[in-house]
Structure 1
Amino acid sequence: MKIHESYSTTSFARGHGNPGDGYTWMGGQANAEWVPCPDGSVKDQWTYVHNNRAGIEGYVSDCFIREY
């Protein structure tokens, strides 16, 4: 998944995260761009995270955020 500078798929991608990467929640944004998820759902929630493996901060669609 791409880690974006803003809550839009067209914004600059600061880097990539991998499935299973740990992250630190830094905040969120509602009512943003709708994103089709791999499971067939569609979400407009984006979360601002710090990817612990890559050390990159940015927005990720909640389609790709998993809490354990």
Structure 2
Amino acid sequence: VTSSPAGINCGATCTANYDSDTLVTLDAVSALGSTFSGWSGEGCTGTGACQVTMDGAKSVTANFTLG
């Protein structure tokens, strides 16, 4: 998962801190052998980019499937 503006740090769990009211765009890229199956949480759906306005703590999940 990558973010614009930059700043997201992904290991097993991604975390980031942004200034209040920042519009953050999240993009997911699957690794070889997996497929990005969509977003969940904070109003993000589908497989396109996810946009979140940071007006408080947010939780978004990028879902991947193997195969």
TM-score interval (norm. to shorter):
under 0.3
TM-score by length of 1: 0.26
TM-score by length of 2: 0.26
Say which structure is richer in helix.
1
